[in-house]
Amino acid sequence: MAAAHRTKEKGKKSAARAAAATRGEAGIPTVDDLAPTARELLEAARRLLESEGYSSLTLKAIGREAGQNESLIGYHFGSKTGLLAALVDWLVYDTVRDLHAKVLELPEGEDQLDEAMGDARELVGDVESYRAHYDLMPQLLSTRDGRQRMARLYATYRELNARALSRDSAQAHSPRARAFASMHVALTDGLALQVLMDPGGVDVQFAIELWEECVRGMLPEDPEE
């Protein structure tokens, strides 16, 4: 039993590393990759965002809140835009990394949709993180660098979702899987936005159940399809 447990834990760690490596391709530092000082800066930025809003996120204020020199923001994140992009990722999609690690450890052919849908439910339910996420998004989209960083970040999310919404890794590269992945990201972000605007006005559970039925009905049985 102990050996089996160690094997399972080793598999989880390997899957988590694989998921983190995939996320790192977006050019955004993942939480697992951050030095302690960088984490302190992100935590400080989040505290300021939640307590005082976006206007409080100056380099000087973030450094002061973290008890660190503001120049370290450039060292760890490249720029304030880089820090904000990392913060968007950390606010909501740390959940994605952990849940997709479970998907990556499943043997080929096993049902992964339960994990993908559980991912969506957990994300939509994290109201405060999504509130901060949407506070930051307009600021990032207002600059070319911000748009490019977010485009790379969302490309990685779609890649992870394509794997979770497929029956095996071969299907994950198909146009169908990529389309499902785009729709899954849109569903999750869109439901979260509606929950923020109208708490209780949307039956999130039922909406995700319908989406799961749709995906299950459209997935090909043959990986070559």
The model's pLDDT over 190-201, given as tens digits with 9 standing for 90+, comes to 999 999 999 889
* Domain span holding position 213: 92-218
Structurally, how many domains does the chain consist of? 1
12 inside domain? no
189 inside domain? yes
158 inside domain? yes
- Amino acid found at 90: W
3-class SS at 196? helix
pTM of the model: 0.74
Residues 129 and 93: their CA atoms lie apart, in Å, by 10
105 inside domain? yes
Q: Are 100 and 165 in contact (CB under 8 A)?
A: no
pLDDT in tens, 112-124: 788 788 888 888 9
pLDDT in tens, 56-105: 999 999 999 999 999 999 999 888 998 998 888 887 766 666 666 776 77
79 inside domain? no
Residue 190 structure tokens: 């869109």
Q: What is the CATH number of the domain that holds 172?
A: 1.10.357
48 inside domain? no
Residues 184 and 63: their CA atoms lie apart, in Å, by 36
